[in-house]
Structure 1
Amino acid sequence: MQHHPIPHKIDRIIPWEGRDYRYFSGTAYLGMGSVPAFEKHIIQGIQQYGPNHGASRFSNVQLEVYDALEQQFAREAGAPFGALLSSGFMAGYLSQTLLYALADEVWAAPDAHPAILPAHFQPDPSQSFGEYAQECIERSHHTKGKTIAILSNAVDTILPSVHDFHWVKQLSAENTYYLLIDDSHAFGLLGKGIYGTYGQWKSLPARLIVVGSLGKALAIPAGMILGDAFFIEKVKNSAIFRGASPAAPGYCEAFLNAESLYSRQQSLLQENMEYFFGHLDEDTKAALRYDPRFPVVTFRNSGWAQKLLDKGVMISSFSYPRPEDAPVDRIILSAYHTKEDLDLLAAAVREQ
């Protein structure tokens, strides 16, 4: 599908070549960019801290907003400690790099994001998450005295599917396990409030590390690592963390002041998901793949993107994660969509 360059921010309507299209793509699940009060918080944060902060977190003059965000995020997520970075990809990359050095073996889920994969790892994309989990259980009972790193997304955004990690309880107790979960598509959507799935899985018999981007549902260009004292100390003592510029501080300040706005947008998104899924007949549902807890819909057959574009609906359609992969057509629902948008979408899908 061809690209659509635009000279303005993305919203629920995209004007292109003389026609307005309803936009059902991207990762702005909570639609925070369309909330004036949130934009005001960002502007106020920039006025307080400036447009950027390019110095190390360990320079002699430090901005207090970073520690404040780490402490709040960890506390609300139910994690011992947090580490804030400038992007979710950096958070994932740094975490898997440190884990790779700690572990004897690395077991990566088939849909694990490239950010949390060691460079030479290539999971089997034909394997289901259930098959992967069963393989991990079986391998664990043929392994003894090893430190094993298990790498997975919280959500398969392509299928889509919300992953369950209770199977970790079935792993052999003869090994030590690290469980690294990428919450990039869970922050703001799943788990506790806007703080992701750490609290949901922290009682599993594994040392839990949750990483992810705050730049999707939460609209903050930053990344977060949640974990225990041992691992977060390794993160903060690493050359990458010490040498990299931190996140833009104004956005971090905005996050700290936007809890009620996030909560409101979560409610709106939930209403929109229930409304849209409730307006699909059984035949239409049979042609789709979705989880009612997650605002992404995919198709059992290809070729939907152009058909929906002809109806005035622009959905996600591109090769991912590698350029040689087949394009994936996906509908992404957001809190900023109106009932009129959802009615148009439902009618366009039903007519195909």
Structure 2
Amino acid sequence: MTKYINSFPSKNIQVKGTNYLYFGGTAYLGLQTDLEFQNIYIDNLRKYGTNYGASRKSNIRISIFDQTESYLAKLVGSEACVTLSSGYLAGQFISQFLNRKEFRFFYSPNTHSALYLCNNQENKPKSYITFAALNIALRDHLEKNKDSTPVVFLDSIDFSGANFPDFNGLKALPLNDVILVVDDSHGIGILGKNGGGVFSSLKKLHPKELIVCCSLGKGFGVQGGAIFADTKRINEFIETDFFGGSSPAAPANLATIYFGEELLNKKRSLLEQNIEFFRTQINLITKFKSMIGHPAFTFADENLTQHLEEHQILVTSFRYPNEKASLMSRIVLSAAHTKEEINTLCGVINKY
């Protein structure tokens, strides 16, 4: 059942006078309501303003864009990075840029809608149900179409555990002949060395080319998006009318990532401790689909959702990305949760 609230859904929310513990959403590091993080953001807001609507190609340019992009590229392990106003726009940008006759699109199982070129349901391409089917289709294409490079779209975190951390389905593909486009929105900021996400690990699989995009709002707590690739490809993106004509991410947002590194590292460590604590306290871990190191624990039992709500605990549970989709339910831990709150959650689950 949909519930309406009047403030950001932090670890505690109130609905019609009832207080609930909240284990849902995507605020993995708990930054959005963290006072120290807010103070860093407010300081940057005063310096850079609430928004910057000019083109990045304007004759007046704010240096924090290049500074943050260089920082993020180094963090992730890519040659270069470019930021945009949202993760969704980043995915659409890549899809539109590669929408040419010399490329052929292939969508992995459970690919996020941000990577689809067309979201009109009648014309929307189908994702492959299995990696085995995708593998067959790719090899058939490579044998019959020498002038068309396949582009494989993938979500690094698909919440089924099929991709991160092992990417076994991906490893079976002929990656040397494939451009790999990966949405790492649920990984960057919380996974990998210092929150660098999956870029470095995917690079070791040696695809023909690797392009990673993401939202900055989940792991870094501010609105924005980013694309990571080699320098040549990023420069091609920057030279497009699409990039030149779009408003960038707010510079205050990017500055908060750049100047908030120490706090982000501290919050990431807290999140890692919370994940480990949950795993040690829960008796029914096999009831959930999960990935080592990731704070989301997916389940399909609607009665468990109801059981948790009856004990004043709310989790993520809705049909995504539309009402025709299957119900998505998951427990999400954050760096903001205390051991006591996690222990309460585990106690309720263990009694189910």
| TM superposition score normalised by structure 1 | 0.91
Give the corresponding residue for 1:64. 63
Q: Which residue of 1 aligns with 2:313?
A: 313
Amino acid at match of 2:230: D
Contact 2:163 2:170 in 1 (8 A): no
Correspondence for 2:126: 123
What is the distance in 1 between the residues matched to 2:20 and 2:161?
A: 25
Structure 2 residue runs of 5 or longer lacking an equivalent are: none
* TM-superposition CA deviations, 1:128-181 (whole Å, max 9, x none): 4x43564466446644523110100111135675254466565558x7421001
TM-superposed CA distance for 1:231, in Å, is 1.7
Answer whether contact 2:85 2:224 (CA < 8 A) is retained: yes
Letter of the structure 2 residue corresponding to residue 66 of structure 1: F
> Aligned pair count?
346
The residue that corresponds to 1:28 in the other structure is 27
**8 Å Cα contact 1:188/1:195 also seen in 2:** yes
Contact 2:40 2:259 in 1 (8 A): yes
C-alpha root-mean-square deviation of aligned residues, in Å? 2.2
Give 3-state SS (helix, strand or coil) of 1:156's partner: coil
Structure 1 residues 202, 102: closer, same or farther in 2, change over 3 A? farther
Alignment match, 2:5:
6
Does structure 2 retain, via aligned residues, the 8 Å contact 1:183–1:212?
yes
| 2:335 equivalent in structure 1 | 335
Match of 2:257 in 1: 255
Once residues 341 and 140 of structure 2 are traced to their aligned partners in structure 1, the CA distance between those partners, rounded to angstroms, is 48
More displaced stretch, 246-255 vs 21-30: 246-255
Gap runs ≥5 in structure 1: none
State the match for 2:181 in structure 1. Answer: 180
User: Any conservation in 2 of the 1:280–1:350 contact (CA below 8 Å)?
Assistant: yes
1:268 counterpart letter in structure 2 = L
Amino acid paired to 2:341 = D
Aligned residue identity for 1:185: H
Out of 219, 222, 237, the position equivalent to 1:220 is 222
Q: 1:305 to 1:92 in 2, by over 3 A?
A: same
- Counting aligned pairs with the same residue, the percent is 29
Contact preservation (8 Å) 2:159, 2:298: no
Q: Who is 2:234 aligned against? A: 232
User: Structure 1 residues 16, 318: CA separation in 2 closer, same or farther (over 3 Å shift)?
Assistant: same
1:179-202 deviation digits (Å, cap 9, x = unpaired) = 001010011122231222112222
Q: What residue number does 1:93 align with?
A: 92
CA–CA distance in 1 between the matches of 2:125 and 2:303?
27
Contact 1:133 1:167 in 2 (8 A): no
> 1-side partners of 2:31 and 2:183: how far apart?
21
Cα distance in 2 for partners of 1:12, 1:223 equals: 25
Moved more, 94-103 or 245-254: 94-103
The amino acid of 1:298's aligned partner reads: T
2:165·2:291 contact (CA, 8 Å) conserved in 1? no
Q: Deviations over 1:296-323 (max 9, x none)?
A: 1122433332221111100001110122
Normalization by structure 2: what TM-score?
0.91
Change beyond 3 A, Cα 1:302–1:143: farther
Task: Tell me the amino acid that sits aligned with residue 322 of structure 1.
Answer: N
Contact 1:92/1:182, CA 8 A, preserved across alignment: yes
* Paired AA for residue 228 in structure 2: L
Do the aligned partners of 1:277 and 1:292 also contact (CA within 8 Å) in 2? Answer: no
Cα distance in 2 for residues equivalent to 1:160 and 1:29: 21
Confirm or deny: 8 A CA contact 2:161 2:291 kept in the other structure: no
Could you report, residue by residue, the CA deviation over 1:256-306 in whole angstroms, capped at 9, with x for unpaired residues?
11111111111111111111111122xx22322222321111224333322
Does 2:310 align with 1:302?
Answer: no
- d(CA) in 2 for partners of 1:172 and 1:8? 48
Indicate the SS of the match to 1:100: coil
Provide the C-alpha distance between the structure 2 equivalents of 1:26 and 1:194, rounded to a whole number of angstroms: 19
